[in-house]
Amino acid sequence: MEKQDIKIGLPRALLYYRYRVLWRVFFQELGMETVVSPPTDRDILERGTALAIDEACLSLKIYLGHVAALAGQCDYILVPRVSNFGRHRSMCTRFESTPDLVRSVFRGPGQKFLSYEVDEEMKKKDEQDAFLEMGRTLGCSAKAAKRAYKTAKRAELAHHKERVQRYEQQYKKEGMKVLIAAHSYVAEDPFMGRTVSDYLKRVGVIPLRADMVDREAALKRSRELSPTCKWEVSREILGGVAMHKNDVDGIILLSAFPCGPDAMVNELIARRVKGVPMLNLVLDSQSGTAGVETRLESFIDIIRFKEGKL
C-alpha cells in the first residue's frame, strides 16, 4: 500500500486531547491521512458502555465508543501505550493496558490497530524511540520518521504554549473566575466537562483550566501540594492548582467515575488548599446536565454569598 493511501483513525477521547497535534502532524508529515471520530454523543457513549466492563471509568467507556465509531472506517486505529516518562512520572494504568484491552474487545480479522509504547523507566523507550518504531511499522525510513516526529513535537509544544498564553490572558479579566481541575479528556469532552464550562460561560463566569499551564513549571509546583504523587498528569494539575489558587474565586474538582488517581488527588487538594470555595463533581454516564447544572448553580451562589454579592 502506498503511504498516501494509508488512513489512520484517531479516537477522539483519552490521550487524543493531549496529543492530537503531535499525532496529526506526524502522520501528515509521513504523507498519510488521519480521520478523527466525531465528538462524543449519546450513541458513542452507549456503544462504549456496552463494550466495557461495569468497573471501567467513564473516560474509558467513551474511548471504546470512539474506537467502535472508527472501526471499518480506516486502515489502522491508533491505540498507544503510554506507561511513564521515567521514575515517579507514571501515567494512569489504563494507558498501559488500552492496546491489549482494545485488541481483545475488537478481536476478529477486520480492523487493524497501530500502537507505540513509551516506557522510559523499565524499557528505556522514550517518545521519540516509540515514534521511530511506529514509523518503521508503517514502512517509513528512520530518517523520515525522525524528521516527522521533530516537526510534530514542535507543533505540539507551540500549540500548548499558545493555549496556555490564551488562558493567562483570561486571569487578567474582570469578573468571577473558576478553576477546573480535571484531565483534559474530561474537561473537553462534550458529554463530560464541556457541559460544565459551557454552563459557567452562560452565567457569566470565566472557566479556567488547572492543566493549561507550563508543564515543567507545574511539575515543580506540584510538590507544594504533594511531594510524592507519581502520576504525571495529576502532578501537572496539582501544579496548576498551586500556581493559580489565589487568582480564582472557586475551584471545581471534576472527574469521571470511578477514577483512582482523581479520588486520591482531589481529596488531597480539598485538604491542602484552604480559603477557596471548592466543588467536587464526579460525572458518570447517568449524570444528566440538569443535575450538574443545579450543583453548579448552588456553587456559584455560595461564591457570590461569600464575596457579599448575594
Least distance CB 53 / ligand SF4 (angstroms): 13
The answer to whether 260 contacts ligand SF4 (rule: CB under 6 A) is yes
Q: How far is the CB of 163 from ligand SF4 (least distance, A)?
A: 20
Question: Does residue 183 interact with ligand SF4 by CB under 6 A?
Answer: yes
Nearest distance, CB of residue 230 and ligand SF4, angstroms: 13
- Residue 184 interacting with ligand SF4 (CB under 6 A): no
Query: Of 8, 22, 57, 78, which one interacts with ligand SF4 (CB under 6 A)?
Result: 57
| Structural contact between residues 67 and 107, judged by C-beta atoms closer than 8 angstroms | no
Does 59 help bind ligand SF4 (rule: CB under 6 A)?
yes
Q: Which of positions 65-124 make contact with ligand SF4 (CB under 6 A)? A: 92, 94
Q: Which stretch binds ligand SF4 (CB under 6 A): 132-140, 219-227, 239-247, 260-268?
A: 260-268
* Closer residue to ligand SF4 (CB): 68 or 206: 68
User: What's the min distance (Å) between Cβ of 51 and ligand SF4?
Assistant: 15
Other beta carbons less than 10 A from residue 309's beta carbon:
10
Of 158 and 270, the one with the shorter C-beta distance to ligand SF4 is 270
Q: State how far the alpha carbon of 160 is from the alpha carbons of 70, 156, 250, in Å.
A: 26, 6, 24
259 near ligand SF4 (CB under 6 A): yes
| C-alpha cell at position 177 | 473566575
Supply 143's cell numbers.
530518517
Please give the residue ranges that form the binding site for ligand SF4 (CB under 6 A): 57, 59-60, 92, 94, 183, 256, 259-262
